[in-house]
Structure 1
């Protein structure tokens, strides 16, 4: 970090003794405590640092525990046989205890950008490698947000605050350390991190920290697409996806991450907004219940509006329906993957979910049973239910398919016996026909249920 970035990034050390904070060792992982104690006993400084300290102060239960020390990575490696050194951009040690990994980082220094000593490399303001060691004071002002620069001292159980992080925890606000524009140029992903932390912690972003978003948002295009995929999972699949989405919109960053989503919403499609918000709310609810979620479904939700609109445009121009949907999906996925590198295993599922949507309107007997046995039927059906706000016909169609899955195989077959095998029916009419047929004909023998669910 240069001198400009450190402007306003210094503060008098404030030590919060054990009796004045809520952090208890019983809430710290045993593995992290073992690392802290061993480093301390070997004569090194050792602190719990970052998100774990912040979350413990807020009464949370951190999953990850990071340690900062004045021991070099090589010294940590000598001290812990169960450790390995990783990283080129930021060299650090991973100490492994069964399934748990404690990340141990050496205090980072604030050496000048052109310093020949140390291992720091900066390109166009972005730090691409940084292995200059320093003091704990330097390490504190090198961190991104004040709330992430708090240190829990294992030697006396106090919390050390060098930049005003404790006050920000109390005020529930996010301030960047140093000049915001400089810090974002060093690493543009910090803008997304600000949004994610604010959503997760229910904090507000300080006005000075959010002011550069409009000007510097385009720098996200320079970030590695694979890294942005990881960031998108943290934004949307960590239990606070709906709030993260709203904050991305409010801060103007959505268009830099998901341009197709931003374009579709800008057209004022209330049904699309309802679909996205309900999809994110459902995902948050599933995570809160400990249920599994898939990125494929969520990305299918976020990109649906553009895919649907493109497919309908090409169909009205005379393109065959299946070809139009395939082309729309391919175009939207290709554009999105230039920004966020969604793995192929997920984009294939997304394309299948989209391609099955028009097939729900085909309620002829053979097509219904063929669709019910499709491997992606359940995901595609859940997606159809999210589309209920698009029109009364789509809403009714979703209700019909929900009812159809509850019927015994032979009862459903009898209900569908009279539906024409011709072209795609209008959704509302198609949804009504099976119910009328079922009232006229006897239910028949009780058969096995469809294996669609």
Structure 2
């Protein structure tokens, strides 16, 4: 087999020819030679492949079509993992696949795919992608980005159209062998990620590939090859033009798949964080960036633990963590300038979210929760009976309290406050008085995390006490 370097040089001599007006042409490459890894040379067992995927593979094979498990599932099986999703590549067209399965629906305009549904499992079936011909109406490229691509071809063409070499491995149901056309097995052994083809051209086709590189490196604990990472600095700005809804989906894959902390570190190290979460990247460079980084890493580690334990996680909490630094900074500036604390926190949260949704489309059902989590943080300082009872009954109390706990893990000065609220949740309402009688040792700690400054809180209480002349003690201010 020719060397990988030679293959990349000869397979796509000049990459994709881009044309912003017409459909694109790909220069016909010299197709790669296959390396066949026989059943006795790899560790993939059909016991680790889902029943739905096996049914599709066998049905296609029995109907006379080629059928291969492909992509991440093959990669993860070879690494000893347990994939959740199984994708299939075949020479059958989407319409032919639908003809074999009544439980099949065709989706997509950019990439035409067949989805075969087995209860909760969806098996995605794609026809081998081809390299196309000049003027082909089924492939269209605008400013270097592929906007439609339904040109079908051979398995060799399909292999060189994929993104990373480790994702271009094919498990053949006909003889249980693995086919390697681009050196994917070599990369698995070296634990490195190489992009197939010219990196700059492939990123211009689809800038989100840069984020996929980061995500795969974090998930697999692989190193991104220098030639694949070098264009990040120059082309990262292209992510600003990617569809915000698509970046939202990619963000969930980065941070809510059990390797969020590693993904964050890779994003930051590679310089891509600033293009996806600019507020986060800016806050990390401020004077309190070290403190913010500690909070982020602790929160993401907690999220990873929940995912790995099979517990639920919410995107609202994730994005509240990522954007906290920017929100806190804005709120503190506004409060220092004389703005009412509640207004300052509300305005800061809304402003940061509005900036962020231009890059990552956070659905309103999540952004509303985020704003409430942030707004409730200063209220944890107000340990007066009526306010404690109100906060405990707030529908977002638990999420806000969990956020406080993460803050306390990053800032030891908040530990007593978090412990106090943990006790408050455990006692009966009648016993709150005794708990409230305990000395408040954290009145000055909140400012370090952006809560209501003590002086501002005192001013508001004095104004309220002047109205009802001769009213009760300091422990019973007017709360209406």
* Aligned match of 2:146: 127
In structure 2, the partner of 1:437 is none
Q: 2:376, 2:446 → 1: CA distance?
A: 18
1:442 maps to what in 2?
none
- How far off its partner does 1:360 sit? 0.8
Equivalent residue, structure 2, for 1:28: 49
Structure 1 residues 271, 76: closer, same or farther in 2, change over 3 A? same
Matched, 1:287 2:293: no
Among 357, 379, 384, the alignment partner of 1:364 is 384
Alignment of 1:376-391 (within 5 A): 376-388=396-408
* Aligned CA distance change for structure 1 residues 392 and 33 (closer, same or farther; 3 Å): closer
**What is the CA–CA distance in structure 2 between the aligned matches of 1:240 and 1:418, rounded to whole Å?**
41
In structure 2, distance between residues paired with 1:396 and 1:419: 11
Q: CA deviation at 1:50?
A: 0.6
Any unmatched runs of 5+ in structure 2?
A: 1-10, 17-26, 453-480
2:68 is matched with which residue?
47
State whether residues 31 and 157 of structure 2, in contact with CA within 8 Å, keep that contact through their aligned partners in structure 1. Answer: no
Structure 2 counterpart SS, 1:95: strand
Aligned to 2:274: 255
Question: Residues 291 and 418 of structure 1: is their aligned pair in 2 closer, same or farther, counting only changes over 3 Å?
Answer: closer
Stretch of structure 1 that moved more, 10-19 or 365-374: 10-19
Partners in 2 of 1:262 and 1:9 — Cα distance?
Answer: 43
Task: Please say if residues 9 and 163 of structure 1, whose CA atoms lie closer than 8 Å, have aligned partners that are also in contact.
Answer: no
- For residue 395 of structure 1, what is the aligned residue in structure 2? 415
Tell me the residue number matched to 2:337. Answer: 317
Match of 1:328 among 336, 339, 348: 348
> 1:98-113 residue pairs with structure 2 within 5 A?
98-112=119-133
**How far apart are 1:2 and its partner, in Å?**
6.9
- 1:14-64 deviation per Cα after TM superposition (whole angstroms, max 9, x unaligned): 011111000111111121111111111111111111111101101111111
2:323 to 300, 303, 311: 303
With structure 1 as the length reference, what TM-score do the two structures score? 0.90
Provide the secondary structure at the position in 1 that maps to 2:15.
helix
Q: Which residue of 1 aligns with 2:469?
A: none
Aligned to 2:269, the other structure's residue is in SS state: helix
Is 1:83 the counterpart of 2:104? The answer is yes
Partners of 1:362 and 1:222 lie apart in 2 by 44
Deviant stretches of 4+, over 6 Å: 6-9, 417-420
1:63 corresponds, among 49, 61, 84, to 84
Maintained 8 Å contact 1:276/1:302: yes
TM-score normalised according to structure 2 size: 0.85
Alpha-carbon shift at residue 10 of structure 1 (Å): 5.8
Tell me the CA shift for residue 9 of structure 1.
9.2
The superposition leaves residues 313-337 of structure 1 with CA deviations (integer Å, 9 ceiling, x where unpaired) of 0111111111111110011000001
How many aligned residue pairs are there?
425
What's 1:197 paired with?
Answer: 216
* Paired residue secondary structure (1:405): helix
Offset of residue 188 of structure 1 = 0.2
**Separation in 2, partners of 1:251, 1:22:** 33
Inter-CA distance 111–5: structure 2 relative to 1 (3 Å threshold): same
Following superposition of structure 1 onto structure 2, how do residues 180-259 of structure 1 map, counting pairs within 5 Å?
180-259=199-278
The equivalent of 1:273 in structure 2 is 293
| Structure 1 residues 64 and 259: alpha-carbon distance in aligned structure 2, compared to 1, 3 A threshold | same
User: How much does 1:389 deviate?
Assistant: 6.0
Alpha-carbon distance, 1:400 to partner: 2.1
